């Protein structure tokens, strides 16, 4: 080798030795008096028989020499053990971690060992310590808790799924990755479409172990497939990586089933196209298979820990070379896979640096990489790839090597562009100690963003539970924003960007902050009660992060029995001022309020105690029924709304309010008079990714916003946020917004309504063009669902028309019929202008008042539709003529007053069973109390306009 090549090799070697490491996969250290044999740190083997052969392995002999040299003792096991015990664990750790130069480590603490030390202990030696959550540990922790007083035998797949997903979502705020060891349990031949029945049978098989007096161990393949798929759905929705054990391990593993090629069914599934998957251990001996997968699937990355240092030097070099044959450099990451003993971290770090030097020098000699590209590849593999991929915040300034700064920035850009690598965005995840919740805590999200789907198939990534069938993962929407506005002028909303490290500044001493976010100081814990009123608790951000995220805040149970006119629970509601529940934030819904950027809003679920949903909780009820629809019929319901509101001004010197506009239906003048307000509302909602499809003047002083469809839970949350936005903007302009219907009864067409669609995978399941078998442009699914909603419509009105004033419309909607496009019908079908113009695309329920609780209203519709699907309920022929000209004696009437709707609800057994008798009883009691109070109250409209 000539002197020039030696100099270039030395530059590569120097950068490999100097780069501070990000150890992307490791395990906890154990105390010095642990019963774990020290010999085990030099092998991945378990058990006396296999360990007995370790001293004859090449890796063992090499490692003894290395450790003896580091400690300055004889290179044999007895001398090393004696030295460790004489200086103590602290000195051992300082020596090993100092020599390893690890700046950040990701610990999987699901590998339990005797005298295992906690996460906090490791921070004494490594500045950045983050947690990886093993999904099998979560599943077994959930199953080893009673589902109820009935014991373990009462577990169902649905109840497990709810707790499992809730737990994962809860921890997603606090971990940097999930991990699965399904290769050890049943192999990587995971069926992404495993049937619910097979999974439930597998669950019951696993539960038999507990009935025999042993802890539940997840082992049935169908159940593991279900568990893995659900966990990957959560990871995809939350934009969290999923680490997967692949390749070799101890003898419990069936090696042929650990080949990563078995994952292709998962990788080909459209739902997981945006997943972020890490193949651990370089998939040894399947390195070429792993390299191939990383080259053709954008979601696949590789971590080569355990391959280094457990193989011979030749084996390590060949394995890493095989990985680089096809896999892009920006998809390969270092880890030590250290565990139990600090020496394992040192050995993994030392030999990773040495072997990577050999491989990169060889790539340079072969012409695969220039010198600058080889130097850049070293830092990417050893540090920056993991910082970017796991969204870590580096604990140091940008790497300060003189070599690193001297080599061409252009080569870095060229290398990154050739690899299609994104710009580096770094965020700091919270640190915490590991503890499986008992019981399961609330859902959460790692970056405080809300995933709001803009396409039907994106509904599958909306708020928990994440449905199984879809194909695109929505990007988290940053919620912080700066609001710039003048008086009565349209608002300009400027989203606040995260801190960006630009590629050309990757190797400089400082990173450039493009925009500094406004600091959130308070968080509003937000929900709607049984009467539909918006309520919240406000907590300082520090208390929110330290206490409320985990434990919530307490509130009286009686809150769900309150009416629009009283702060006390309604009579016979079953609720009182005795007893408390917890408001647990769903961090996936956390949004910074553009009109008050120092405040954030987060929707809450109501729990008896953290992890146990309260039977009166509206969000949980909707979530549960949505999950039933998905699991029973492979369907997802989406919803969009027309929401009507009045803008009122105060008459000087009077208590009376005046409508801002009195223009007729669809008036251009009406829109012109409120254009600055409507523009500001639109801009704010767009900034939080809520789609407004249309705005118009309804007439009679009312304005209407058409809100785009989303998965039902997100749709309900969106509607409440729309109302909060309208109220805030109106208040800023010295106006008052109210969502009470029929303040003026001169308009026959109701303004607030809901549109519903059913989706199976990425296809609308409502409609059909098959006129030979299907009727009215409806599929069999559509006919059953519509039949259920139509049949239960009288009781549904108690949810969607919750006030006496809701029944004051002068239109003919009091008759119980449906139509195909008939605007007079309380329930009608709609058809799109798509390639299937004769097929129904959505259903529309005309009366869904803006003062209704949208979670409860959609839950009632879901319960009715599910009943229709189960019983194949048929609908009568549609009426598509003017109802005034129709033979009304042949058509039943809908409830004409709130007390009639409440009575219909009380007598509806299906809604009692599906929604729950306690909640139905409370709703009926609140409705009857509203009817009695407002019946002879002359100030009813003024009171309701103030409350809603």
Q: At what angle do helices 135-143 and 221-238 cross, to 10 degrees?
A: 120
Per the CB < 8 A criterion, the answer to whether 332 and 381 are in contact is yes
Per-residue pLDDT tens digits for 361-395: 999 999 999 999 999 999 999 999 999 999 986 44
Alpha carbon of 724 to those of 318, 403, 657, 850: distances in Å? 60, 55, 20, 12
Integer Cα distance of 346 and 97 in angstroms: 6
Residue 654: the pLDDT is 55
536-545: buried (b, 16+ CB within 10 Å) or exposed (e) per residue? bbebebeebe
For the chain, give the percent of residues with pLDDT over 90: 36
Provide CB contacts within 8 A for 662, sequence distance 6+: 700, 701
Average pLDDT over residues 255-283: 93
Handedness of CA 789, 792, 794, 797 (dihedral sign): negative
Residue 774 near residue 783, CB atoms below 8 Å: yes
Q: Do 388 and 425 form a contact (C-beta atoms < 8 A)?
A: yes
Q: Residue 736's beta-bridge partner residues?
A: 648
pLDDT score at 180: 95
DSSP lists the bridge partners of residue 177 as 132
The kind and range of the H/E element at 763 are: strand 763-764
Residue 105: phi and psi, rounded to 5, are: -140, 145
**What is the average pLDDT value for the chain, to the nearest integer?**
79
Q: How far is the first Cα of the chain from the last one, in angstroms, to the nearest whole number? A: 82
Number of Cβ within a 10 Å radius of residue 344 = 25
Q: Looking only at Cα atoms, what is the longest distance across the chain?
A: 104
| pLDDT, tens digit, 9 for 90 and up, residues 797-807 | 999 988 888 87
Check pLDDT > 80 for residue 556: yes
How much helix, strand and coil, in percent to the nearest 5, is found in the chain? 45, 20, 40
pLDDT digits (tens, 9 = 90+) for 286-339: 999 999 999 999 999 999 998 888 888 999 999 999 999 999 999 999 999 998
For the cut 60, the answer to whether the pLDDT of residue 701 exceeds it is yes
**512 or 874, greater pLDDT:** 874
SS3 754: strand
- Residue 120 and residue 178: Cα distance in Å, rounded? 20
Alpha-carbon span 220 to 422, nearest angstrom: 39
Element (H, E) at 829: strand 827-831
Tokens 């219909």 -> residue: 904
What are the chain's domains? Answer: 3-421 (3.20.20.140), 473-624 (3.10.20.70)
pLDDT band for position 45 (cuts 50, 70, 90): low
Its sign, for the CA torsion 306, 309, 314, 316, is: positive
- Rg for the chain, CA atoms, rounded: 31
Instruction: Provide the token pair at 152.
Output: 């373990």
713-722 average pLDDT score: 93
Q: Is the pLDDT of residue 909 over 70?
A: yes
Q: What is the pLDDT of residue 835?
A: 53
Residue 459: pLDDT over 70: no
Please report which residue ranges of 390-510 form alpha helices under DSSP H.
402-406, 409-418
User: pLDDT band for position 147 (50/70/90)?
Assistant: low
Q: Please state, in angstroms and rounded to a whole number, the distance separating the CA atoms of residues 45 and 32.
A: 20
Please state, in angstroms and rounded to a whole number, the distance separating the CA atoms of residues 481 and 497: 9
Helix H or strand E segment including 149: none
CA distances in angstroms from 529 to 476, 523, 920, listed in the order given: 28, 19, 13
What's the mean pLDDT in 98-119? 89
Place of tokens 């020098």: 361
For residues 838-855, average pLDDT: 89
Instruction: Report the pLDDT value the prediction gives residue 380, as an integer from 0 to 100.
Output: 94
User: What sign has the CA pseudo-torsion 267, 273, 275, 281?
Assistant: positive
Per-residue pLDDT band at 660 (split at 50, 70, 90)? low
Q: Cα–Cα distance between 343 and 349 in angstroms, integer?
A: 10
Q: Which of 239-243, 248-252, 654-658, 690-694 has the highest mean pLDDT?
A: 239-243
Would you state the structure tokens that stand for residue 49, as one six-digit string? 């028989």
Residue 684's nearest CA partner among 728, 639, 736 is 728
Token pair in block for residue 145: 């808790």
Distance CA 491, CA 489 (A): 6
Note the pLDDT of residue 700. 67
Residue 693 and residue 690: Cα distance in Å, rounded?
10
- What pLDDT shows up at residue 333? 96
User: Which range is least confidently modeled, 18-27, 451-460, 653-662?
Assistant: 451-460
Q: What is the dihedral of CA 595, 596, 600, 605, to 10 degrees?
A: -70
Reference 740, options 543, 531, 595; nearest CA is: 531
Determine the length of the chain.
948
CB 236 within 8 A of CB 274: yes
Cα–Cα nearest to 760, from 894, 678, 869, 637: 637
Euclidean distance between CA atoms 892 and 675, whole angstroms: 43
* Closest to 756 measured CA to CA, from 712, 693, 725: 712
List of residues 6+ apart from 313 with CB closer than 8 A: 58, 62, 351, 355
Three-class secondary structure of residue 239 per DSSP: coil
- Non-local (6+) Cβ contacts of 672 within 8 A are none
Q: What is the DSSP string of 654-675?
A: SS-EEES----TT-HHHHHHTH
Element (H, E) at 554: strand 553-556
Q: pLDDT per residue over 749-780, tens digit each? A: 557 889 999 998 778 888 887 766 778 888 89
The β-bridge partners of 926 are none
In this prediction, residue 655 carries a pLDDT of: 58
Report the distance separating Cα 75 and Cα 692, nearest Å.
Answer: 71
- pLDDT at residue 442 in the model: 30
Higher pLDDT, 886 or 924: 924
What pLDDT was estimated at residue 217? Answer: 85
User: Is pLDDT above 50 for 455?
Assistant: no
């Amino acid at each position: 080798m000539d002197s020039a090549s030696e100099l270039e090799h030395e530059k590569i070697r120097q950068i490999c030795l100097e780069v501070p490491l990000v150890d992307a996969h490791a395990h906890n250290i154990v105390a010095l008096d642990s019963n774990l044999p020290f010999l085990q740190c030099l092998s991945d083997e378990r058990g006396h028989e296999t360990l007995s052969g370790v001293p004859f392995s090449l890796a063992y002999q090499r490692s003894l020499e290395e450790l003896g040299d580091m400690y300055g003792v004889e290179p044999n096991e007895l001398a090393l053990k004696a030295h460790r015990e004489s200086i103590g664990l602290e000195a051992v750790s300082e020596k090993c971690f100092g020599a390893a130069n690890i700046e950040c480590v990701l610990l999987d603490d699901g590998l339990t060992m005797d005298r295992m030390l906690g996460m906090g202990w490791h921070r004494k030696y490594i500045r950045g310590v983050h947690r990886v959550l093993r999904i099998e540990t979560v599943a077994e922790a959930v199953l080893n808790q009673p589902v109820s007083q009935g014991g373990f035998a009462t577990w169902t797949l649905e109840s497990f799924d709810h707790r499992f997903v809730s737990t994962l979502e809860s921890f997603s705020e606090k971990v940097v990755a999930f991990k699965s060891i399904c290769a050890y349990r049943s192999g990587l031949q995971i069926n992404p479409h495993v049937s619910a029945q097979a999974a439930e049978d597998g669950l019951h098989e696993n539960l038999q172990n507990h009935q025999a007096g042993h802890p539940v161990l997840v082992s049935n393949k169908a159940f593991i497939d279900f568990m893995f798929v659900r966990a990957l759905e959560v990871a995809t929705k939350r934009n969290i990586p999923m680490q997967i054990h692949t390749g070799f391990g101890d003898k419990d593993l069936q090696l042929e089933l650990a080949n990563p090629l078995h994952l292709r069914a998962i990788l080909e599934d459209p739902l997981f196209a945006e997943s972020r998957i890490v193949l651990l251990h370089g998939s040894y001996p399947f390195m070429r298979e792993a390299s191939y997968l990383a080259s053709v699937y954008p979601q696949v990355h590789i971590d080569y820990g355990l391959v280094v240092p457990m193989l011979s030097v030749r084996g390590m070099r060949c394995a890493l070379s095989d990985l680089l044959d096809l896999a892009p450099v920006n998809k390969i990451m270092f880890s030590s896979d250290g565990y139990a003993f600090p020496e394992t971290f040192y050995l993994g770090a030392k030999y990773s640096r040495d072997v990577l030097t050999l491989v990169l020098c060889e790539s340079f000699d072969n012409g695969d990489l220039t010198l600058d590209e080889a130097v850049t590849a070293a830092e990417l593999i050893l540090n920056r790839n993991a910082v970017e991929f796991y969204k870590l915040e580096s604990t140091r300034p940008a790497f300060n090597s003189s070599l690193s700064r001297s080599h061409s920035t252009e080569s870095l850009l060229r290398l990154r562009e050739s690899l299609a690598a994104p710009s580096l965005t770094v965020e700091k995840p919270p640190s915490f100690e590991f503890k499986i919740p008992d019981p399961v805590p609330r859902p959460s999200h790692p970056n405080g963003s809300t995933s709001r789907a803009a396409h039907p198939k994106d509904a599958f990534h909306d708020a928990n539970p994440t449905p199984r069938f879809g194909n695109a993962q929505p990007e988290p929407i940053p919620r912080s924003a700066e609001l710039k506005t003048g008086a009565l002028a349209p608002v300009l909303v400027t989203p606040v960007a995260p801190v960006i490290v630009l590629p050309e500044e990757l190797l400089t001493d400082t990173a450039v902050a493009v925009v500094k976010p406004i600091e959130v100081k308070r968080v509003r814990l937000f929900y709607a009660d049984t009467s539909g009123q918006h309520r919240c608790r406000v907590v300082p951000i520090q208390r929110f992060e330290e206490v409320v995220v985990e434990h919530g805040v307490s509130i009286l149970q009686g809150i769900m029995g309150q009416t629009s006119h009283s702060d006390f629970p309604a009579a016979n509601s079953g609720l009182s001022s005795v007893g408390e529940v917890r408001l647990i934030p769903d961090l996936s819904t956390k949004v910074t309020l553009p009109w008050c950027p120092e405040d954030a809003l987060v929707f809450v679920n109501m729990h008896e105690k953290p992890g146990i949903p309260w039977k009166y909780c509206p969000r949980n009820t909707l979530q549960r029924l949505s999950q039933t629809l998905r699991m029973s019929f492979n369907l997802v319901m989406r919803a969009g709304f027309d929401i009507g509101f009045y803008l009122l001004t105060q008459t000087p010197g009077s208590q009376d309010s005046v409508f801002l506009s009195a223009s007729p239906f669809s008036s251009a003048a009406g829109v012109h008079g409120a254009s600055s307000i409507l523009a500001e509302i639109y801009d704010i909602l767009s900034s939080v990714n809520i789609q407004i499809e249309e705005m118009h003047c309804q007439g009679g002083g009312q304005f209407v916003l058409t809100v785009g469809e989303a998965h039902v839970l997100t749709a309900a949350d969106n509607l409440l946020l729309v109302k909060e936005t309208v109220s805030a903007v109106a208040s800023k302009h010295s106006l008052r917004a109210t969502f009470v219907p029929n303040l003026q009864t001169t308009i026959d067409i109701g303004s607030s309504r809901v549109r519903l669609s059913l989706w199976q995978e990425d296809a609308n399941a409502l409609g059909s063009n098959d006129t030979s078998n299907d009727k009215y442009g409806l599929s069999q699914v559509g006919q059953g669902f519509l039949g259920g909603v139509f049949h239960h419509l009288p009781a549904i009105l108690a949810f969607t028309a919750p006030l006496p004033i809701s029944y004051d419309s002068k239109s003919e909607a009091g008759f119980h019929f449906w139509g195909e496009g008939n605007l007079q019908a309380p329930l009608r079908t709609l058809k799109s202008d798509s390639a299937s113009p004769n097929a129904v695309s959505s259903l529309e329920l005309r009366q869904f008042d803006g003062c209704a609780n949208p979670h409860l209203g959609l839950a009632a519709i879901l319960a009715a539709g599910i009943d229709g699907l189960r019983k194949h309920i048929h609908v009568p022929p549609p009426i598509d003529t003017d109802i005034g000209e129709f033979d009304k004696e042949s058509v039943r009437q809908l409830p004409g007053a709130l007390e009639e709707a409440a009575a219909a609800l009380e007598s509806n057994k299906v809604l009692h069973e599906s929604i729950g008798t306690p909640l139905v009883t409370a709703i009926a009691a609140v409705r009857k109390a509203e009817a009695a109070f407002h019946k002879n109250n002359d100030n009813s409209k003024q009171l309701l306009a103030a409350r809603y």
